[in-house]
Amino acid sequence: MKIQKHILAVLGLSALLGACGGSGGTVEVDMSRSTSYGAIVGNNDTAGTGTYSWKGVPFAKPPVGALRWKAPVEPDSWSGQLATKAFGNACLQNGRIYGPGANNRYDSSIASTLNTPVGSEDCLTLNIWRPAGDSANLPVIVFVYGGSNISGYSADPVYDGAALARVANAVVVTTNYRVGVLGFMNLPQIKTGSNAAEDSGNFALLDIVQALKFVKKNAAAFGGNADNVTLMGQSAGAINTWALLASPLAAGLFHKAVPISGGISLASNLPPGMLPTLNPASTYLAQGNALLAKLLIADGKASDTASASAYIATQTSPQIADYLRAKPGSTILTTLLVNGLTGSGPIPDGVVLPTNPIAAMAAGSYNKVPVLAGNTADEGKLFAPFLTLLGGKNGLKITDADRFNLMANFNPDLPTTLTSADILDASYLPVTTPVTGFNAKTALLGSVFTTPSRDNVLNTLITQQPGSVWHYQFNWAQEPAPWNEVYGAAHAFDLPFLFGNFGPSVFSNAVNSTANKPGRLALSAAMMASLGAFARTGNPNTTTLGVTWQPWPKKLVLDASLTQASISVP
């Protein structure tokens, strides 16, 4: 749909505006749009980012009260214009350095809210950016955040869609979805038998499907092409993207996929000793049962697991469901945390997600679309605490609060006395020590975690769609010392490049120096242009890459010196 412009240009107005500190030829744009639920009005940031945006747009009713652990329900229609100029609430989660603080944004309160509930259950909103102007039929990129499926929020400043929308010439959408057990819950007592998708427990996946349905209905109102939607996710968002690639419920809702640093492999799909990216439904059934028992014990209705089971046997399923829905969300999250029950992820139930997604893909039973996958060269460095899984110590010697504050207060342009020894456990130093050093150990972690799932799913896909599966490896590691050793090309460090956002965020001070800015921006521009090409045509090749990107099993290596991009094909 053409965007209506109202030109405020009358005789002498330009001079008047200039005298008032305005600019000649100022254009006032009607920022209202009609959606399937009602009119919304957004922000005109033509002067700043060259984009229009609408933030905090509701795509479902708040999943609270009786709607907790229910499939998302379309919002009621509204009259008048709904102001959509600010991000909606983050979904309820326990604070982590990768999530929001007390104010639904990146700020210093993140350090003081770690491991405490933040956000709200009233959170099912999405955000939309498009280039300023009236161009139509633009590709649409829908982004799903990461956070181990227990945290994350679309208001993260890294995910601001303005730069990507402008450079890729696309409509960019970021969406919230429920996380933790509020997003993935496998418990018989909350199932009614009347809705198989809802009974799957995959509420987060259903949220993303609902957001995609909103996009399908409303893309044209924002200049987007509903028949050219790219679903993009990173980390847990990539796992969820892979899940929807395998889900019959998402058929026809997206036409390309960009899963970054994620997989969808069960342990049974991988060689022995590898760490899966998908757990069986039984894992989450055990979690649900354990959570219920712990809540009953805390309430004095039981003294131990056995008596909790006996109590549960005296209750009907609706009674248990009502009991759980009456619990404050903060109580549920705290109970999970103190009892080590916080893991979360898609539930392969056989309805929303096949019980074995890799097998379904191998049989051609999935949503066959072009795929652009990515990984970083040092994925394992962000998972330093998980080095315990390899029999060693936690790779970090400081708390997350200390690490957050170190990064927030770090000046990347000044000399520093900070060293890797201030951050990393001594057993992994020097980082370059063969076999036992931090580089070797985190590489080993990546080789048993991210790499096997990557190869498993990509090698499966090319049996069904050779020539339309692409992969990049992000190698950039030009951070100022000591962060270049601590992080390097760590998990998630490609995201600022894909979104073109290097401003205030959790890692920005540790990563973005004046010295590395020219090369960083050049690489980012090439990556955004390539993503735009893929969203438009299903092929990521552009002249900005300077090389020809061949489909998997080939890969493209993305890197940069301090001053220029360095993109290659090994």
Q: Say how far apart CA 157 and CA 523 lie, in whole Å.
A: 19
Residues belonging to the active site = 235
Spatial neighbors of 558 by CB under 8 A, at least 6 apart, are 472, 473, 474, 475, 476, 494, 497, 523, 526, 527, 567
DSSP state of 234: E
Contact status, residue 395 vs residue 384, Cβ threshold 8 Å: yes
- Cβ neighbours of 48 (radius 10 Å): 10
Distance of CA 500 to the CA centre of its chain: 16
Contact status, residue 228 vs residue 200, Cβ threshold 8 Å: no
Q: Say how far apart CA 529 and CA 540 lie, in whole Å.
A: 8
Query: What six digits make up the tokens of 284?
Result: 């989450």
Q: Are strands 43-45 and 39-41 parallel, antiparallel or unpaired?
A: unpaired
User: Measuring CA to CA, which residue among 438, 444, 440, 445 is closest to residue 395?
Assistant: 438
DSSP state of 6: E
User: Measuring CA to CA, which residue among 23, 22, 44 is closest to residue 32?
Assistant: 44
Cα dist from 79 to 1, 36, 37, 216, 384, whole Å: 22, 12, 9, 22, 51
Spatial neighbors of 447 by CB under 8 A, at least 6 apart, are none
102: burial class by Cβ within 10 Å (0-12, 13-18, 19+)?
Answer: middle
Q: Say how far apart CA 473 and CA 375 lie, in whole Å.
A: 5
Contact status, residue 219 vs residue 38, Cβ threshold 8 Å: no
Helix (H) or strand (E) holding 531: helix 517-537
186: burial class by Cβ within 10 Å (0-12, 13-18, 19+)?
Answer: buried
DSSP per residue, 27-91: EEE--EEE-SS-EEE-EEETTTTSEEEEEEEE-S----GGGTTS---PPPP-SSEEE-BSPPPPB
Cα dist from 71 to 77, 193, 219, whole Å: 18, 13, 23
